[in-house]
Amino acid sequence: MKNSKDIINYINKIPKSELHLHIEGSLEPELMFKLSKRNKIEIPFKSIEEIKSAYNFSNLDSFLKIYYQGSNVLITEEDFFDLTWEYILRCKQDNIVHTEIFFDPQSHTERGIKFNTIINGIDKALKKANSEFGITSKIIMCFLRHLEEESCFDILKQALNHKDKIVGVGLDSSEKGNPPQKFKNLFEAAIKEGFVTVAHAGEEGPPEYIWDSLNLLKVKRIDHGVQCLKDKKLVETLIKKNIPLTVCPLSNIKLCVFDKLENHNLKKMLDKGLRVMVNSDDPAYFGGYLNTNLIETTKALNLSLEDVKILIQNSFKSSFLDESTKNSWLSKI
């Protein structure tokens, strides 16, 4: 690796932005255990070590099973505050100055947790992050694509009371068998209400899902998008329209999208001129927060300092920050 020590120092010190982070996916085993005891919720693990050993996934669905089990311990506003605050402390450690987090309200409302409980806990932690550390943030509400559109419309209705907190909507959960077209009407309604749209596409699903996310859901960003290289015309369109792709390398390895990090296609995407960046996705489950993702990917793909700079710049450029704030951070990279 080229000047590896210098590049790693640069990654650790430079201000960064993160655009693909599921707050429920930052639930560390220690906090899961603590909340299960606090709320007297039974989980199928007897120790922190047992939880960690269960984090061995063969695909997206095998991960989601444990992910939803973990979410069961989140009950009160305090729980959602604690969850978010722990991630914020990681942001401070990794020098993340801006983060745009996903949350999955349906995985909680389906268990009887009130929407207000979820959003208020998250929002209070993010406000504290800004006042104490100067970390800025945006909240994106994700719809679970394995559920029916009707259930998603109900959640959208509840989100309307929180437009001051929620900037956009996204689409996550099981990609295969749940194409974007299933949510065309939902996303049209969300756009009419003033929400920006993003969607997970081309992680395990085909390039067609990326096309449909662009054309039917009118998304501003594609989350993952690594399957785009299978379609030359799609790549040309993504470059022409400057569509950001929020790539999550360690997640892709953990969920067997690629067999090893050395075979990840991030460098190829970068070299083609696609607007890619690195993110941590569900870091508690996938073995690393943002800096770890950047460092491990840099080592595995032999990225240059210039490559790393472009990845970090792309993240700020693709954020939902205002232009003057973006430019202010970009001037520091």
Parent domain of 71: 4-330
Cα–Cα dist 10/240, whole Å? 30
pLDDT value, residue 59: 84
Residue 65 pLDDT exceeds 90: no
The proportion of the chain whose per-residue pLDDT surpasses 90, expressed as a percent, equals 87
Q: Which tokens go with 127?
A: 């406000």
pLDDT value, residue 275: 98
Left, alpha or beta for 202 (phi > 0: left; psi -120 to 50: alpha)?
left
Residue that has been written with the tokens 């969850």 in this structure: 83
CATH number, domain of 284, equals 3.20.20.140
What global pTM score does this model have?
0.96
Residue 2 pLDDT exceeds 60: no
Cα–Cα dist 206/208, whole Å? 5
Residue 1 pLDDT exceeds 70: no
Report, as an integer, the average pLDDT of 188-217.
Answer: 98
DSSP-based three-state secondary structure for 135: coil
Q: Which residues touch 70 (CB under 8 Å, ≥6 apart)?
A: 24, 27, 32, 43
Q: Which of 50, 203, 204, 306 is catalytic?
A: 203
Q: Residue 44: which pLDDT band, with cuts at 50, 70 and 90?
A: confident
The C-alpha angle with vertex 281 and arms to 58 and 153, in degrees rounded to 5, equals 95
Sign of the torsion angle spanned by Cα atoms 86, 132, 141, 156:
positive
Q: Is 203 a catalytic residue?
A: yes
pLDDT value, residue 52: 85
* DSSP per-residue string spanning 182-236: GGHHHHHHHHHTT-EEEEEESSSS-HHHHHHHHHTS--SEEEE-GGGGG-HHHHH
Cα–Cα dist 261/300, whole Å? 6
The CA-atom distances, in angstroms, between 135 and each of 87, 170, 206, 290 are: 12, 22, 36, 15
Cα–Cα dist 197/219, whole Å? 5
Report, as an integer, the average pLDDT of 85-93.
Answer: 98
Domains identified in the chain, total number: 1
Q: What is the pLDDT of residues 92-142, one digit of tens each?
A: 999 999 999 999 999 999 999 999 999 999 999 999 999 999 999 999 999
| Residue 199 and residue 222 in contact, taking contact as beta carbons nearer than 8 Å | yes
pLDDT value, residue 234: 98
Q: Which residues touch 148 (CB under 8 Å, ≥6 apart)?
A: none
Q: What is the mean pLDDT of the chain?
A: 95
H or E stretch covering 20: strand 16-22
